[in-house]
Amino acid sequence: MYIVIEGQDGTGKSTQAELLKKYYEDQGKEVVVIEEPDGDLPQAHDLHDMILTRGYKLEPLTNFLLFTASRLELWRKIAEPLLKRGGVVISARNYWSSIAYQGYGEGVSRSRIIKITKDIMPEKYCHPDYGFILTVPDEVRLARQKNRGKATETFEAKADDFQQRVNGAYPKIAKDFNLTLIDASGTIEEIQAEIRQHLGIQDLSTVILKDAASDDDSVVGELRVV
Ligand code: TYD
């Protein structure tokens, strides 16, 4: 099963992905979380650094092509083999990030992004079993980002109008690609419960986080379901 959790920086994608991973692991499944454009893969890590940390002022189209190269590597080397073994792949981000950031944010034509992605990426990548988009109002997102004090990477550090274009793109993307839009301004537990409900997971008992997990995109503490 391939599940995607999308959304702007500061919406809590990674936290939600990790909680979901824990659930499926408890069910005895083999699970991996992929964080496009990074991941437990050196070439993806290098591509991530090339786009985000080297300070090159890359062309928007170059960014898109490098993100695409990273997602192809992550798909072929990590996601596809696990899916073939019957495992669960949970991805924080998918090519919808490129539509939001490189398309709406940086001005690359949306139809070009879709065309190139469909040309390169397999059908399953483009049509996950479940796709969620987490959204939060701009004020909430900015407060969360400020709290975690990490707004130095290329796209997070861009001006407010860029961020607003990206944030504004997500509801449109949800509609156009038939993705489940989730208001992520609630608590971690509420958002996780909503995601699980959409996944048809019967166990909707409260999810309690030990070790005071934060509400940003960082890894969560140990999970206890009661
Ligand atoms: P990173 O810190 O690695 O991930 P995250 O903030 O999601 O935890 O930063 C990835 C950045 O790259 C983030 O600001 C979104 C951006 N991005 C794009 O612009 N296009 C894409 O296709 C992807 C996958 C990410």
Domains located in the chain, CATH noted: 2-225 (3.40.50.300)
The predicted pLDDT at position 180 comes to 98
pLDDT-derived band at 74, boundaries 50, 70, 90: very high
How much is the average pLDDT of 51-79? 97
Measured distance CA(174)–CA(194) in Å, rounded: 16
User: Could you identify the residue written with the tokens 């969620």?
Assistant: 132
* Residue 139 Cα to ligand 1 middle (Å): 20
- Residue 31 φ/ψ, nearest 5 degrees: -135, 140
Contact at 8 Å (CB) between 97 and 68? no
The SS3 assignment for 7 reads strand
Q: Identify whether the C-beta of residue 13 lies closer than 8 Å to the C-beta of residue 33.
A: no
Atom of ligand 1 nearest to the CA of 14: 8
Q: Is the pLDDT of residue 36 over 70?
A: yes
Closest ligand 1 atom, CA of 101? 19
Higher local confidence (pLDDT), 151 or 34:
34
pLDDT at res. 149? 65
Per-residue pLDDT reduced to its tens digit, 210-219: 544 444 444 4
Non-local CB neighbours of 65 within 8 Å, separated by 6+ positions: 116
Instruction: Summarize pLDDT for 102-113 with one digit per residue, the tens.
Output: 999 999 999 999
Question: Of all protein residues, whose CA lies closest to atom 16 belonging to ligand 1?
Answer: 155
Q: 172 C-alpha vs ligand 1 centroid, how far in Å?
A: 19
pTM of this structure: 0.89
* For residue 82, pLDDT beyond 70: yes
Residue ID of nearest Cα to ligand 1 atom 10? 37
> At 51, is the pLDDT very low, low, confident or very high (cuts 50, 70, 90)?
very high
Give backbone dihedrals phi and psi of 148, rounded to 5 degrees, phi first. -90, -5
